[in-house]
Amino acid sequence: MSTVAEIESALEKLPSGELLAVAAWLDDQRAMLQTSEQLFARLDAEEGDGAGPQWLGE
């Protein structure tokens, strides 16, 4: 399963309990992404324009 259409089709076939479990997992993933985005934005703002390279080897 590698396309959105395939995933949507599979989700439609799940029993309601399993679909709710997937929905809860997706909510957790969304919350984690939003938290990460907020943290990175705050760190970027604190560093300002002169932050320089942020990865080793750059």
Phi, psi of 51 (to 5 degrees): -70, -35
Q: How far is it, in rounded angstroms, from Cα 13 to Cα 36?
A: 32
Q: How far is it, in rounded angstroms, from Cα 52 to Cα 58?
A: 9
Q: How far is it, in rounded angstroms, from Cα 36 to Cα 21?
A: 23
Which one is predicted more confidently, 7 or 44?
A: 7
Of all residues in the chain, what percent carry a pLDDT higher than 90? 53
Q: Mean pLDDT, to the nearest integer, of 17-43?
A: 92
Q: With contact defined as beta carbons under 8 Å apart, do 25 and 16 qualify?
A: no
What's the confidence (pLDDT) of residue 44?
80
